[in-house]
Amino acid sequence: MGPVYILWLRQVKRYLRSRARVLGSLGQPLLLLFALGFGFGPTFEKAGGGNYIQFLAPGIIAMGILFTALFSGIEILWDRKFGFLKETLVAPVPRLLIVLGRTLGGATIAMFQGAIVFTVCLVAGFRVEDLSMLPAAFAFMVLIAIAFTAVGTIFGSVLEDMQAFPVIMNFMVMPLFFFSGAIFPLKGLPKALTAATSINPLTYGVDGLRGALTHGPAFGLGLDFAVLGVFAGILLVVGSYFFSRIEL
């Protein structure tokens, strides 16, 4: 497990040394929190939905994790172009351990970002309804982080074009976010939208997180956990497969 740990530690150290990276990937979630939260708040309340920040915050936390997790894949491209990937790939270590270390590192950083967004949400007026449910919320954050870091690993392994990566990731972030029930309740949607939300893994993450933090999950925490867990497992396997096929 030494190699997994040291590669995990590398990611964490790099993250902690780059304040620009921390702030940069907070921008989008915070913008959405303030624009949507305070913009739609009064309308949402009038329509009988209750406090909108209370509804929106879990979605924004999930978004913060999603954004950082997906973009962690670009580190594979950097490492490939600037040589460090070679150092790890010619070491006498199975690639599975290398990709595991990298993915856990990326997921941990996504968790850090999620924790920062969480804190900002608290400042913006979000309240956790049942503190004893925090461990469950933490578990959902971990699953979201792992699942989407694995997606980042898949794209980071397959793409060789440094400019294509952010374009494709931006293309994915928005639909994943908008069709996840992060900003609107899932009940009573048009059929097409229901279909889109139910195949989106993030939907179950947002629902689980919301359920744990404020009650009222649409699907039930057990189902959310199972679906997201299976998704995360599959994506991890697929990510490892593509990473193991990288040629220098």
Q: Which stretch binds other proteins (CB under 8 A): 15-23, 122-130, 142-150, 235-243?
A: 15-23
- What's the closest the beta carbon of residue 162 comes to other proteins, in angstroms? 6
Q: Which DSSP letter does residue 245 get?
A: T
- Taking CB under 8 A as the binding criterion, the range among 53-61, 83-91, 181-189, 199-207 that sits at the site for other proteins is 83-91
CA-CA distances (angstroms) from residue 87 to 52, 96, 160, 208, 228? Answer: 49, 15, 18, 39, 34
If one asks whether residue 222 binds other proteins (CB under 8 A), the answer comes out as no
Nearest residue (CB) to other proteins, 161 versus 187: 161
Choice between 9 and 237, CB closer to other proteins: 9
Find, among 235, 43, 78, 60, the residue nearest to 152 by Cα. 235
**CB 240 → other proteins: shortest distance, Å?**
18
By CB under 8 A, tell whether 20 contacts other proteins: yes
Query: How many Å apart are CA 188 and CA 202, to the nearest integer?
Result: 19
Judged by beta carbon, residue 118 or residue 155, the one nearer other proteins is 155
Q: Identify residues 90-149 at the interface with other proteins (CB under 8 A).
A: 90-93
Phi-psi region of 163 (alpha: psi -120 to 50; beta: other; left: phi over 0): alpha
- 């309804």: which residue's tokens? 129
Q: Is 18 in the site for other proteins (CB under 8 A)?
A: yes
Three-class secondary structure of residue 194 per DSSP:
helix
Does residue 246 sit in helix, strand or coil?
coil
Residues in contact with other proteins by CB under 8 A are 2-3, 5-7, 10, 13-14, 17-18, 20-21, 24, 78-79, 81-84, 86-93, 162-163, 247-248
